[in-house]
């Protein structure tokens, strides 16, 4: 008897481009901590703020030696991954056309004491979904937001270290999530894929994950239970 071939839907191959250059928008607490960590991991690092590059050159020499000050336009054009590390209240200053097709990490949180009250974010379950709507062509991935800036360098650990912490990653583009996960891994954290951007509401401000430390098993369980609660 002829056996029926079982037809499985072919799995889409994840394409992870080689990431060499990291552009960071914001040279504050988060921006400079990520710049130092990325430099230590061997990436080329560029930083831009709303000010002209020469105005942040000295700050970078002191706070992130080796990072190159660039204009926002040049940074976005020449970086493989762009990290948003500016106050969320400024997100509308980001020009969507510059970000088309770019892998962008959104590390921003809605924090009314510093951002003021912003109606859009008062209503939103995840600020990243609003940022993605604004930067419609960007391949936005939410990551790094649930960890304090002071921990970013001090908690980084090599792969296999029992104290290595996990960072949640969410975004609608699977290839972008994979590229960001590779970056996170090289910086010293276990990336845990939470799935689409909507899942970022499970590690935003006020959640169990926000501001707490978990290893990869705990993080995966927390994200899975949050997902199940939503689906129920
Ligand atoms: N602090 C934390 O522990 C922590 C942890 C996770 C996530 N976050 C989030 O990360 C973001 C940055 O936090 P932070 O504590 O690093 O803030 P911060 O120290 O106040 O630094 C903000 C930086 O953003 C720059 N900036 C302002 N407008 C800009 C624009 N239009 N384009 C580019 N850069 C711009 C500022 O530069 P100029 O002064 O030159 O304008 C400054 O360098 C926030 O959204 C925050 O919610 C913070």
Is the CB of residue 34 less than 8 Å from the CB of residue 84? no
Which pLDDT belongs to residue 60? 98
Query: What phi, psi does 21 have (nearest 5°)?
Result: -120, 135
Residue range 83-107: mean pLDDT, rounded: 97
Q: 1-10, 63-72, 159-168: which has the minimum mean pLDDT?
A: 1-10
Query: Which ligand 1 atom is nearest residue 108's CA?
Result: 45
Greater pLDDT, 16 or 92? 92
Distance CA 107, CA 94 (A): 14
Distance CA 214, CA 86 (A): 25
Q: Which residues, at least 6 apart from 10, have a Cβ–Cβ distance to it below 8 Å? A: none
C-alpha of residue 112 to centroid of ligand 1, in Å = 14
pLDDT digits (tens, 9 = 90+) for 115-173: 999 998 998 889 999 999 999 999 999 999 999 999 999 999 999 999 999 999 999 99
Q: Which residues, at least 6 apart from 117, have a Cβ–Cβ distance to it below 8 Å? A: none
Domains (ranges, CATH) in the chain?
A: 21-231 (3.40.50.720)
Distance CA 81, CA 149 (A): 19
Which pLDDT belongs to residue 10? 64
Q: How far apart, in Å, are the Cα atoms of 211 and each of 82, 143, 146, 148, 219?
A: 23, 13, 5, 7, 13
C-alpha of residue 49 to centroid of ligand 1, in Å = 9
Helix or strand holding residue 218 (H, E): helix 216-231
Which pLDDT belongs to residue 3? 47
Using pLDDT thresholds of 50, 70 and 90, give the confidence band for residue 5: very low
C-alpha of residue 230 to centroid of ligand 1, in Å = 31
Residue 14 DSSP one-character state: P
Q: Which of 25, 28, 92 to mutate to test the pocket of ligand 1 (most atoms within 8 A of CB)?
A: 28
Residue range 90-105: mean pLDDT, rounded: 97
Distance CA 194, CA 63 (A): 32
pLDDT digits (tens, 9 = 90+) for 174-225: 999 999 999 999 999 999 999 999 999 999 999 999 999 999 999 999 999 9
Q: How far apart, in Å, are the Cα atoms of 88 and each of 6, 70, 96, 109, 113?
A: 49, 21, 15, 6, 12
Longest dimension (CA), the chain: 77
Q: Which of 49, 91, 134 to mutate to test the pocket of ligand 1 (most atoms within 8 A of CB)?
A: 49
State the Cα torsion 36-41-44-48 to the nearest 10°.
Answer: -30
Cα 82–Cα 47–Cα 197 angle in degrees, nearest 5:
25
Distance CA 184, CA 167 (A): 8
């Amino acid at each position: 008897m002829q056996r029926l071939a079982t037809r499985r839907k072919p799995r889409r191959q994840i394409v992870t481009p080689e990431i060499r250059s990291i552009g960071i928008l914001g040279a504050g607490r988060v921006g400079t901590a990520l710049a130092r960590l990325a430099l230590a991991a061997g990436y080329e690092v560029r930083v831009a703020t709303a000010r002209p590059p020469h105005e942040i050159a000295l700050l970078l020499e002191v706070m992130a030696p080796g990072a190159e000050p660039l204009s926002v336009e040049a940074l976005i054009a020449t970086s493989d991954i762009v990290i948003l590390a500016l106050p969320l209240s400024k997100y509308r200053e980001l020009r969507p056309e510059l970000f088309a097709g770019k892998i962008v990490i959104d590390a921003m949180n809605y924090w009314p004491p510093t951002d003021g009250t912003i109606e859009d974010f008062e209503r939103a379950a995840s600020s990243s979904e609003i940022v993605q709507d604004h930067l419609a062509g960007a391949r936005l991935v939410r990551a790094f937001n649930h960890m304090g800036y002071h921990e970013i360098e001090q908690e980084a650990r090599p792969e296999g270290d029992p104290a290595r912490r996990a960072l949640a990653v969410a975004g609608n583009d699977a290839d972008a999530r994979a590229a960001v996960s590779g970056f996170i891994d090289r910086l010293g954290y276990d990336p845990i894929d939470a799935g689409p951007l909507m899942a970022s509401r499970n590690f935003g401000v006020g959640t169990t994950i926000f501001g707490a430390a978990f290893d990869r098993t705990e993080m995966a369980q927390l994200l899975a239970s949050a997902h199940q609660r939503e689906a129920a």
